[in-house]
């Protein structure tokens, strides 16, 4: 009386263990054994739904990764590299290289952003911001105008959702050896001069995108770039990462890495 129903249960559980989720327990009684069969059948249905969700997230991660640059441009006089590693299937970190001005100007735009939260909602907002930045950067206007227009559209999209996105937009002119940037609530960029062993933060005022659609962003400027200087723009995912002991990496360790490796390539 027990061997046959338990054999059916064991067969289904073994199939689940091996990854098959299509078998069901044949419930023939209304007792405890029948209840176990009902629970296992409900479990396999839930596992199938979770598997579908996992596959969808994997696809979303693949799509999002394809939105990030596969390589870095190398204008004359500059050595550039960028990388993003997500802690989840999808995330809100974003970086890109943008065309600025005419090709003969040899200018390059670099943007790094960080959407609040994690998961699919952040990934969707990241994709929207990427499209807006790419489209707006091709039109006339300086960094402050570009970020201001993107903020206006993004604010209307995320209105009442509580979402926002910090952003750092930098334009490098290797011919004039100058920088222009806008800081929208993001961590400052870092400029390191190995000759003087001095770190300088590329600061500026400005709220995150999506907070106030009428915010007027201010463009910062710096000239006098020298050969061998290093610029780093990142998100807090770098210095807030923790090791197996729970100790935070920290900004001091990051700056020390820049100091020790300043002579190497950007990659």
Specify which residues 171 forms β-bridges with. 109, 180
Q: How many CB atoms lie within 10 A of CB 162?
A: 9
Both structure tokens of 163:
């979402």
- The closest alpha carbon to 112, from 60, 170, 51, belongs to 170
Q: How confident is the model at residue 50 (pLDDT cuts 50, 70, 90)?
A: confident
At 216-260, the pLDDT tens digits run 999 999 999 999 999 999 998 889 899 999 999 999 999 999 999
- The closest alpha carbon to 108, from 11, 179, 157, 27, belongs to 179
CA 240 to CA 249: how far, in whole Å?
6
Q: How confident is the model at residue 60 (pLDDT cuts 50, 70, 90)?
A: low
Residue 96 confidence (pLDDT): 93
Strands 189-193 and 178-184: unpaired
Q: What is the mean pLDDT of residues 136-140?
A: 88
Q: How confident is the model at residue 39 (pLDDT cuts 50, 70, 90)?
A: confident
- Is 128 in a helix, a strand, or coil? helix
CA angle, corner 179, sides to 174 and 184, nearest 5? 140
- The closest alpha carbon to 13, from 50, 32, 41, 33, belongs to 41
Q: What's the gap between Cα 257 and its chain centre? A: 22
């Amino acid at each position: 009386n027990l061997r046959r129903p338990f054999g059916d249960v064991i067969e289904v559980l073994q199939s689940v263990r091996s990854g098959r989720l299509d078998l069901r327990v044949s419930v023939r009684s209304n007792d405890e054994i029948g209840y176990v069969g009902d629970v296992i059948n409900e479990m396999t249905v839930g596992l199938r739904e979770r598997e579908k969700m996992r596959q969808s997230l994997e696809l979303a991660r693949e799509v999002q990764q394809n939105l990030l640059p596969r390589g870095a441009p190398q204008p004359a006089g500059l050595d550039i590299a960028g990388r993003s590693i997500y802690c989840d299937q999808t995330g809100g970190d974003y970086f890109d290289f943008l065309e600025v001005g005419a090709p003969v100007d040899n200018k390059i735009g670099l943007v790094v952003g960080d959407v609040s939260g994690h998961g699919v909602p952040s990934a969707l907002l990241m994709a929207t911001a990427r499209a807006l930045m790419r489209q707006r950067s091709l039109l006339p206007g300086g960094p402050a105008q570009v970020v201001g227009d993107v903020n206006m559209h993004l604010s209307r999209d995320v209105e009442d959702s509580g979402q926002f996105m910090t952003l750092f937009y930098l334009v490098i002119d290797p011919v004039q050896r100058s920088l222009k940037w806008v800081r929208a609530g993001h961590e400052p960029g870092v400029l390191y001069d190995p000759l003087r062993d001095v770190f300088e933060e590329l600061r500026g005022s400005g709220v995150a995108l999506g907070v106030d659609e009428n915010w007027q962003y201010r463009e910062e400027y710096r000239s006098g770039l020298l050969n061998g200087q290093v610029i780093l723009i990142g998100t807090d995912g770098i210095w807030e990462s923790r090791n197996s002991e729970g100790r935070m990496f920290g900004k001091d360790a990051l700056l020390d890495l820049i100091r020790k490796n300043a002579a190497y390539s950007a990659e």
